[in-house]
A and B are shown apart, each in its own frame.
Chain A
Amino acid sequence: AQSVAQPEDQVNVAEGNPLTVKCTYSVSGNPYLFWYVQYPNRGLQFLLKYITGDNLVKGSYGFEAEFNKSQTSFHLKKPSALVSDSALYFCAVRDSGDSFNKFYFGSGTKLNVKP
């Protein structure tokens, strides 16, 4: 069965420090992996995705994520956090062989960036 785990409910980091938001997944076939961000009272915004190719993918607002097949992980990273990065982050996966295009989401990680 397909699933996503975000082991941390909350991540706290000081502005200017690097940040990591963890995500591990489980799929039957090859994964397509996504990160979304939700700011307060807003919808989910797409950040980046891994489909194939280079394991390190770069996305919006300076975020990047690294696909690690052996560890079934897709951690979100940023070299230098901004206060404005504070938001709720969701990892999602879908099975490349799923014709229904069903996405599976994690429970979300709240990122707090303090000045």
Chain B
Amino acid sequence: EAGVTQFPSHSVIEKGQTVTLRCDPISGHDNLYWYRRVMGKEIKFLLHFVKESKQDESGMPNNRFLAERTGGTYSTLKVQPAELEDSGVYFCASSQVRGTGELFFGEGSRLTVL
């Protein structure tokens, strides 16, 4: 069974440019999450999809960030325009059910904004 896959693994862009990160969750997992870790700090929640619906987007930093999950399968996270403080590792995770289940994580997309 394929795990959670993320693309790209690393992206280097200049301030003001746009970047789109993609996440393919484990097949059959309705719950999809985006998290971010800024250098040396805690992994912070960004948002949560249940199928194609945004269940909770309270962690999104500002309106420069846009997440979508059309059709309830893969998800994209777009940053436009990117700022220096957006640099970090963006993790996607999925789970089959809510409750006591653990999250399954992708390898992360490292974003460097110069």
- Bound-state CA distance A99–B55 (Å) is 10
- Say if the beta carbon of B104 comes within 8 Å of chain A: yes
- B91:A43 contact, CB within 8 angstroms: yes
A61 at the interface (CB under 8 A from B): no
B100 lies within 8 A of A51 (CB):
yes
Known: A41-B107, A43-B91, A102-B48. A32 touches B100 (CB 8 A): yes
Nearest chain A CB to B112's CB is how many angstroms away?
15
Asked if A74 lies at the interface with its beta carbon under 8 angstroms from chain B, I say: no
Q: Interface size of B by Cβ–Cβ distance < 8 Å?
A: 29
Segment 58-114 of B: residues with Cβ below 8 Å from A: 91, 93, 95, 98-100, 102-108
Are B98 and A99 in contact, with the CB atoms below 8 A?
Answer: yes
Q: How far is the CA of A32 from the CA of B93 in the complex (A)?
A: 17
Q: How far is the CA of A90 from the CA of B45 in the complex (A)?
A: 14
Interface flag for B4 (CB, 8 Å): yes
What B residues does A108 contact at CB under 8 A?
37, 40, 42-43
Interface residues of A (CB under 8 A from B): 4, 9, 32, 34, 36, 41-46, 49, 51, 90, 92, 99-108
Q: CB within 8 Å of A: which residues of B?
A: 3-4, 6, 31, 33, 35, 37, 40-45, 48, 55-56, 91, 93, 95, 98-100, 102-108
* Nearest 7 pairs of A and B residues by beta carbon: A105-B43, A101-B98, A44-B105, A43-B107, A43-B105, A107-B42, A46-B102
22 interchain pairs (CB within 8 A)?
A4-B42, A9-B40, A32-B100, A41-B107, A43-B107, A44-B43, A44-B103, A45-B105, A49-B102, A90-B43, A100-B48, A100-B56, A101-B31, A101-B98, A102-B45, A103-B35, A103-B45, A104-B42, A107-B40, A107-B41, A108-B37, A108-B43
Additional 13 contacts, C-beta under 8 A, given A43-B106, A45-B105: A34-B102, A46-B102, A46-B104, A51-B100, A92-B43, A99-B98, A100-B55, A100-B98, A102-B48, A103-B45, A103-B103, A105-B42, A106-B42
